[in-house]
Structure 1
Amino acid sequence: MVTISVNGMPPKTQPVDRKYFEDDVKAFEKEHPKIKIDAREGQMDPKTFSAKLAGGQLEDVYYVYFTDPAGLIQRRQGAAITDYVKNTPRVKDIKPEYLKVFTGPDGKLYGLPNGQYSLGLIYNRALFKKAGLDPDKPPTTWEGVRAAAKKITALGDGTVGYADYSKNNQGGWHFTSWVYSMGGDIAAQKDGKWKAAFDSKAGHDALQMLHDMRWTDNSMGTRQLLQIDDVQKMMGSGKLGMYMAGPDNIPTIVKQFEREYSEYGVAAMPGKATLGGGNGFMFNPKASPEKIEAGIEWVLWKYLNPDRTEFEDKRASGNDVPIGLPLDRLFNGAAETEQDRAHEKYANVPQENYEPFVERNALLDQKVEPPNAQQIYTVLDGVMQAVLTKKDADLDQLLVDASKKVDTILATVR
């Protein structure tokens, strides 16, 4: 018998999710009588992580965001699991770009993903039709977005073609995705050191497009300094054509503003790449081989198990949970087909509205957030705010000034 501590258990404030988790622990232990799960709430907290590891308090299996593994691997705070999973077919079915997040410079694997998201465009299908646009063929380039936004804005009555964030680090987050989509980077590593990389053609093109949509076309509205809840409210009111977001925004809009799922579509990010993120699990480097092996078995069974998808969808379908949104598409081949079949069986949202996202998102480069992302986003918020509130903003100078500040932030990356 081996007991493993794992975190990621939902808090008591989420009673349905917590019950599902507890039920899954019981089912797992029944199927694996030699493994006992010591489940704990919480996720990876960078502020307490090192102290927990040094003090022997870190869980054997711990939850991380995609931005965490690179630093954890560099500091040797995660166990290598390559030898444990080399003959595991299910791991081979995971899309390479998500395994890459958990792969160290030594080529070894240090963790497993269990969820992912990609930013795209949420759009109002009715406004597309009203403006003479095909809601089944949303734009795939920023030039197309600009043209569509102008047509939607021309409908009048306070309708806004496209909106974007510029507050509370959300503007910097979105500017990062803009730069990625234009083929650029926010930060790049050279000779072991990180430097700002957005004072580039991609960075300039992103700011120029935002400037032109805001000031030349007047298709972004006059109200700026927005954040996510502002823009969701605009979409929920039926007065916004498009905004950058992941598919998980749709349930929020539907529930908060009493809309219908059929009203919204999702397109993939225009351009060459998108900002993606997600989460997964890594393993305590001080854990015994038996605990690591058992921990991998738990993660594979609970989070990376296409055989359980139908059961999970059926269970969730009775609790007003949207099924069929294009989320957490971690697998290739037969495993993905199996999951898609289950989602289609229990789907309670119009999957055809998301086909433009599913088809094209697979062709985009999925890029993760830069190191020290939140500090960088604070700087880039200022860039977004300047472009959207000052018609005569000097785009090149904004990039130069922000790059100097970001270089200082990146100098602390270890």
Structure 2
Amino acid sequence: MAGIQSRRRFIATGVACALTGALAACSGPSETGSENGVVTISVNGMPPKTQPVDRKYFEEDVKAFEKDHPKIRIDAREGQMDPKTFSAKLAGGQLEDVYYVYFTDPAGLIQRRQGADISQYVKDMPYYKDIKPEFLKVFTGPDGRLYGLPNGQYSLGLLYNRDLFKKAGLDPETPPATWDEVRAAAKKISALGDGTVGYADYSKNNQGGWHLTSWVYSMGGDIAAKKDGRWKAAFDSDAGRRALQTLHDMRWTDNTMGSRQLLQIEDVQKMMGAGKLGMYMAGPDNIPTIVKQFERKYEEYGVGAMPGQATLGGGNGFMFNPKASPEKIRAGIEWVQWKYLNPDRTEFEDKRAAGSDVPIGLPLDRLFTGQAETEQDAAHAKYANVPTKNYKPFVERNGEIEQKVEPPNAQQIYTVLDGVMQAVLTKKDADLGRLLKDAAKKVDGILATVK
């Protein structure tokens, strides 16, 4: 869901955090951003004061960067791209030179020419060729030009309770890789009794629609597809029907999802933290939340890749003010590469975080391939303080399945799909075909404004 948690925020806090607010800024730079040969760039993404460790690390990094780059000064601000105020900030000259976006943002920003073309500036950027192509694609326009850089990513998988797997006679080293295997495992876990639930899922506050999107992806389908230049709903399909049928059968035939429904993430995490849930759809970033909030141990949990053919992935990155001068864009790319896309700093970051009771070794933000990935993996392994073997099924298989991003106007679509999830999970006689058709009509209306 838009709002992913990057590894760097975990390194500083161990839990997800939203970056909001504003920081006291420096005096405004000149139009070119250069004064006496020194370029000042405004950047957002700075953690608020309510996250003191995270903020401290960020401030340390700004000082270190400026020391290494004496011709660049950083005007750091809190926050990220806010769709409600973005256009006004851009028109009023208040938009940062380097601004934080989610993977759902670039397509629209590129279409509206609200991001600078950085293609010519990244040719000599360190490790640029090692960034995974699928993440660069998010920031690539229809013209084939590049308009931004990634700095974090997530993929949904299957989080599970290893202790319950053992009690149910399941192998915790080999989590389910298909939905049929999930159903079979959920039956064995539910049979343990005492209120234990085999599998749980979300169905409200847009989280149900978010997860249903990944369900459809895993079945080989799409939520939206572009045809003849127009976006249309695509989930009234075989993949959509199989997703709903599987959910329906787990809920009503197998009785492995429990009687309590209309759940959201906090409810499901509480069930997992209480030791009463076998599996749910989530990314590895959920594990620290469960461990810290419910006083559990990392050893109790494992994570596997999404069952099926594909998974929903997302992430965040940075784009550049289209009004920024070439000097500012070059300086901004230097900052983003040094701070966020720098395998050479991974060991330093892990060592710095090692004394902060922060999990190191979770399979997060795997942005690189080749030597860069090897360097990062080695650093994480050296300072790992979590049982990395428990995440091996996720790491090994996640790279083999397709990673698909959220549909256009995702949050509006999720509101519609919430209703579909709720009906399937609360009405035994729900008409699955009718649910898909009615939802598709509503989503077609939502997509009608997308180009």
Q: TM-score range by the shorter chain?
A: over 0.9
Distance in 2 between the 1:364 and 1:285 partners?
35
Matched, 1:350 2:387: yes
Q: Secondary structure at the match of 1:266?
A: strand
Counterpart of 1:13 (choices 50, 70, 84) is 50
How far off is 1:400 after superposition?
0.3
Matched, 1:210 2:250: no
Question: Partner letter of residue 270 of structure 2?
Answer: K
**2:40 maps to what in 1?**
3
Question: Partner letter of residue 178 of structure 1?
Answer: W
> Runs in 1 of length 4+ with deviation above 3 angstroms?
none
**1:207-356 paired onto structure 2 within 5 Å:** 207-356=244-393
**1:400 maps to what in 2?**
437
Matched, 1:159 2:196: yes
**1:66-145 paired onto structure 2 within 5 Å:** 66-145=103-182
Distance in 2 between the 1:156 and 1:13 partners?
42
**2:23 maps to what in 1?**
none
Structure 2, unaligned runs of 5 or more: 1-37
Distance in 2 between the 1:103 and 1:28 partners?
27
Q: Which moved more, 1:197-206 or 1:315-324?
A: 315-324
Counterpart of 1:364 (choices 393, 401, 405) is 401
Question: Partner letter of residue 265 of structure 1?
Answer: G
Q: Secondary structure at the match of 2:151?
A: strand
Output the TM-score relative to the length of structure 2: 0.91
How far off is 1:89 after superposition?
4.3
Contact 2:219–2:308 under 8 Å retained in 1? yes
Contact 2:115–2:319 under 8 Å retained in 1? yes
Identity %: 86
Q: Secondary structure at the match of 1:132?
A: coil
**Deviation by residue 1:200-248 (Cα, 9 ceiling, x = unmatched):** 0000000000000000000001000000000000000001000000100
Contact 2:126–2:337 under 8 Å retained in 1? no
How far off is 1:289 after superposition?
0.4
Distance in 1 between the 2:169 and 2:341 partners?
42
Distance in 2 between the 1:148 and 1:27 partners?
50
How far off is 1:88 after superposition?
2.8
Distance in 2 between the 1:189 and 1:9 partners?
36
Distance in 2 between the 1:75 and 1:375 partners?
20
**2:215 maps to what in 1?**
178
Tell me the matched-pair count. Answer: 414
Distance in 1 between the 2:402 and 2:147 partners?
22
Distance in 2 between the 1:207 and 1:8 partners?
38
Distance in 1 between the 2:95 and 2:427 partners?
48
How far off is 1:317 after superposition?
1.1
Matched, 1:46 2:76: no
Counterpart of 2:61 (choices 16, 20, 24) is 24
**Deviation by residue 1:300-350 (Cα, 9 ceiling, x = unmatched):** 000000000011011111111100000000000110110011001110100
Question: Partner letter of residue 361 of structure 1?
Answer: N
How far off is 1:15 after superposition?
0.7
Question: Partner letter of residue 200 of structure 1?
Answer: S
